[in-house]
């Protein structure tokens, strides 16, 4: 057996996994009957449909050709997600100013081309912009500085 | 006559200085962000959503609508000058627009796009004003069964008209529905699929989901391949088309507007299908059949008019039925919900100032775009030169602050990180995000209406086919699915999508 359409194969598997997962979780809730549908019935129905569709997609990927999955690049994904998580931590404990600076400075490394000086400048601009627009102009309740 | 009275009332709301300012700010910001390469209208609306949180419902929606058509227009600018379609609906604009730019006629191309969009926008606004109220009145009489079938039809139509694999698109709809019903079940109070996280009791945030797919994951994918594009910034010249251009384009604009208005109403149609269809028609009908694809100004005028008309009329199902026909409308519905308004036919009667104010503001907004774009083209062009590596950290900042600002919960920031990873994986596997977003918005509504109709019908599922309107919707959905599954038609669809 040979996978001839890798993109479809893997997406099919994801659909099956998600569908089965939702059905399994839904089965913990009351199903009820068609007249009085419980909280579990609709998700179980849709989850079943999703799993079935996923199975068809995966099965078809074994018979018809399709494009290969482009190689995963670790750099954008890792730095992108890391910067967002750091932003969350920083916003909670250190306030918006530091959080935005961290987000820009770490996030910028998601690109292959990094110019530290320009990124510093960008960070300053974005901090000023966030504070000026989001906090002062729009009045969003964001802590600016570390809360001791 | 009543329509004109209503429009006048709406105009009264829209030209209040406050709404006028928000409409202007929306158009301006929308164009500003939409012009930036690699940021489409959906991402623009999602990122700018937080700017409307502090406003009342009417100004918020007016501003969002302004952002939407501003972004739409900004996308055309990039299509013409850089050959990068800001979104799929300006793909056809690149064909002749970019060629015009290469021949030193970028100015008239930008000008005719603005003028065509303005004319189309004006007409489409009138169409909305005339057709939305009767439709809303019909919809008010819908029972839950009809609503459920309508949503099934809407989702199926959206999927059939979308790009890519049909099966995967339907699967994405299902996945969207499932993600949408995470959280507290309104009927029983049970918290579903939350893995014991109390933060998930309210469900996955719509803003977080939209930003993850159209903002952050999109950036991560873009960063994987860097392409250098040639930008035509030096030789723009006058943006005013010549009298000859206008004469040649008049009918193209009219045809584009007609097609766009019609297709925009269809679920899933919206701007994308409209611009493609208009270009195809123009190629067949326009006389003399000059050089399409080599810089024919009609090849810009027709699709640009069509996509603006389509973008406008796609508000009809959103406003009257509460059903989004494309991801941007899903965002508008999300924004309404954040403002505490339940979308649906009752909005027109319960909140006339919102309904008519929004419609009238579309016309005002189109006028603003015209005034804004022709003189400001020079500024927009400068923005095109901003390199992506300086742009994407700004997208991160907007998304992260925006998602936090919805509820002021740090949890949402981590949520967007997780969703982005998931979105990245799906995008990598060529799974279209649009069906997922539509399913996400409609999921809870579908479940609610299904349960209610079953309750009323004592668990008899035949109610969906014995009620005539509901049967028509389901029949239409089935017919669409069968039609698309037929080999001959499928080949045609793939051919159309490929062009």
pLDDT at residue B2, rounded to an integer: 74
Interface of A with B in 28-87 (CB under 8 A): 29-30, 33-39, 42-43, 46-47, 49-50, 53-54, 56-57, 60, 67, 69-70, 72-73, 75-77, 80-81, 83-85, 87
The predicted model scores a pTM of: 0.87
- What are the per-10-residue average pLDDT scores of chain B (499 residues)? 77 82 90 80 86 84 88 82 71 82 82 88 88 85 89 84 80 94 85 82 87 90 71 62 78 88 74 77 73 79 87 86 84 85 84 86 85 78 80 91 87 94 93 89 90 89 87 90 72 58
B220 touching chain A per CB within 8 A:
yes
Whether residues B430 and A11 touch (CB distance < 8 A) is answered with yes
ipTM for the complex shown: 0.93
What is the average pLDDT score of chain B?
83
**Section A107-113 average pLDDT:** 89
CA B271 to chain centroid, in Å, comes to: 7
User: Residues B209, B435: contact at Cβ < 8 Å?
Assistant: no
* A12 pLDDT tier (thresholds 50, 70, 90): very high
Out of A2-11, A90-99, B36-45, B265-274, give the one with best mean pLDDT.
A90-99
Whole-angstrom distance, CA of residue B413 vs CA of residue B407: 11
Whole-angstrom distance, CA of residue B304 vs CA of residue B301: 5
User: Residues A107, B393: contact at Cβ < 8 Å?
Assistant: yes
Domain ranges of chain A: 6-60, 74-137
pLDDT tens, A13-47?
A: 999 999 999 999 999 888 888 888 888 899 999 99
Residue in A29, A53, A81 nearest the CB of B417: A81
Beta bridge partners of A86: none
pLDDT beyond 70 at A147: yes
Cβ-Cβ contacts under 8 Å between A and B: the total is 193
Cβ neighbours of residue B330 closer than 8 Å, sequence gap 6 or more:
B210, B324, B437, B438, B440, B441
pLDDT tens, B332-347?
A: 888 888 888 888 888 8
* Residue A19: C-alpha distances to residues A10, A57, B172, B430 (Å): 14, 13, 11, 19
Beta bridge partners of A37: A32
Whole-angstrom distance, CA of residue B7 vs CA of residue B213: 37
Whether residues A80 and B396 touch (CB distance < 8 A) is answered with yes
Whether residues A138 and B410 touch (CB distance < 8 A) is answered with no
Beta bridge partners of B183: B192
Measured from the Cβ of residue B352, the count of other Cβ atoms closer than 10 Å reads 14
Whether residues A50 and B175 touch (CB distance < 8 A) is answered with yes
User: Residues B302, B292: contact at Cβ < 8 Å?
Assistant: no
Whole-angstrom distance, CA of residue A27 vs CA of residue A38: 10
Tallying the residues shown for chain A, one arrives at 148
User: How many percent of chain A have pLDDT more than 70?
Assistant: 99
Q: Nearest 5°: phi and psi at B200?
A: -90, 5
User: Residues B22, B62: contact at Cβ < 8 Å?
Assistant: yes
DSSP chain A: ---S-HHHHHHHHHHHHHHHHHHHHHTTS--B-SSSB-TTHHHHHHHHHHHHHHHHHHHHTTTS--PPPPPP-HHHHHHHHHHHHHHHHHHHHT-HHHHHHHHHHHHGGGSS---HHHHHHHHHHHHHHIIIIIIIIS------S---
Cβ neighbours of residue B335 closer than 8 Å, sequence gap 6 or more:
B49, B52, B60, B61, B64
Minimal-distance CA residue of chain B relative to A49: B174
A100 touching chain B per CB within 8 A:
yes
* A81 pLDDT tier (thresholds 50, 70, 90): very high
User: How many percent of chain B have pLDDT more than 70?
Assistant: 90
């Amino acid at each position: 057996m040979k996978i001839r359409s890798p993109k479809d194969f893997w997406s099919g598997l994801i659909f099956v996994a998600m569908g089965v997962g939702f059905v399994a979780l839904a089965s913990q809730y009351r199903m009820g009957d068609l007249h009085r549908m419980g909280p579990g019935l609709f998700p179980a129905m849709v989850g079943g449909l999703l799993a079935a569709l996923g199975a068809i997609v995966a099965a078809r990927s074994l018979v018809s050709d399709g494009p290969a999955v482009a190689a995963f690049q670790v750099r954008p994904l890792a730095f992108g997600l890391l910067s967002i998580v750091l932003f969350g931590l920083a916003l909670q404990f250190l306030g918006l100013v530091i959080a935005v600076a961290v987000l820009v400075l770490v996030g910028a490394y998601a690109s292959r081309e990094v110019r530290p000086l320009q990124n510093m400048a960008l960070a300053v601009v974005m901090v000023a912009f966030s504070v000026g627009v989001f906090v002062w102009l729009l009045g969003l309740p964001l802590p600016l500085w570390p809360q001791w | 006559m009543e329509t004109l009275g209503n429009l006048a009332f709406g105009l009264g709301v829209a030209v209040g200085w406050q709404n006028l300012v928000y409409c202007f700010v929306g158009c301006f910001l929308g164009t500003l962000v939409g012009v930036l390469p690699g940021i489409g209208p959906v991402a623009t609306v999602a990122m700018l959503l937080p700017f409307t949180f502090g406003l009342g419902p009417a100004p918020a929606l007016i501003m969002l609508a302004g952002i939407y058509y501003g972004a739409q227009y900004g996308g055309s600018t990039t299509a013409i000058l850089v050959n990068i379609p800001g979104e799929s609906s300006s793909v056809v604009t690149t064909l002749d627009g970019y060629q015009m730019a290469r021949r030193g006629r970028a100015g008239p191309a930008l000008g005719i796009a603005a003028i065509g969009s303005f004319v189309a926008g004006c007409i489409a606004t009138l169409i909305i004003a005339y057709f939305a109220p009767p439709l809303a009145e019909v919809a008010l009489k819908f029972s839950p069964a009809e609503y459920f079938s309508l949503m099934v039809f809407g989702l199926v139509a959206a999927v059939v008209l979308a790009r890519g694999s049909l099966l995967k698109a339907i699967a994405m709809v299902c996945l969207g529905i499932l993600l949408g019903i995470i959280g507290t079940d309104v009927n029983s109070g049970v918290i579903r699929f939350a893995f014991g996280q109390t933060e998930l009791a309210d469900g996955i945030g719509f803003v977080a989901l939209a930003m993850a797919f159209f903002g952050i994951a999109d950036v991560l994918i873009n960063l994987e391949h860097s392409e250098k594009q040639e930008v035509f910034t030096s030789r723009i010249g006058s943006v005013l088309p010549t009298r000859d251009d206008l004469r040649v384009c008049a009918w193209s604009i009219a045809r584009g507007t007609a097609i766009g208005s019609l297709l925009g109403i269809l679920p899933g149609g919206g701007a994308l299908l409209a611009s493609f269809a208009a270009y195809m028609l123009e190629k067949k009908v326009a006389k003399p059949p000059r050089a399409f694809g080599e810089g024919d100004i009609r090849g810009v005028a027709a699709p640009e008019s069509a996509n603006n008309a389509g973008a406008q009329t796609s508000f009809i199902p959103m406003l009257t039925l509460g059903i989004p026909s494309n991801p941007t409308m899903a965002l508008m519905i999300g924004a309404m919900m954040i403002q505490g308004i339940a979308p649906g036919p009752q909005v027109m009667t319960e909140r006339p100032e919102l309904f008519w104010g929004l419609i009238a503001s579309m016309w005002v907004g189109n006028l603003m775009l015209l005034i804004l774009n022709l003189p400001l083209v020079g500024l927009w062009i400068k923005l095109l030169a901003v390199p992506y590596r300086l742009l994407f950290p700004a997208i991160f900042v907007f998304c992260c602050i925006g998602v936090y600002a919805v509820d002021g919960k740090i949890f949402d920031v981590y949520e967007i990180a997780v969703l982005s990873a998931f979105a990245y994986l799906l995008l990598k596997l060529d799974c279209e995000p649009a069906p997922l977003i539509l399913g996400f918005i409609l999921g809870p509504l579908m479940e609610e209406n299904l349960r209610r109709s079953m309750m009323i019908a004592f668990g008899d599922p035949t109610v969906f086919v014995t009620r005539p309107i509901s049967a028509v919707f389901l029949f239409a959905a089935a017919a669409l699915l069968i039609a698309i599954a037929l080999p001959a038609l499928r080949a045609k669809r793939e051919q159309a999508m490929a062009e």
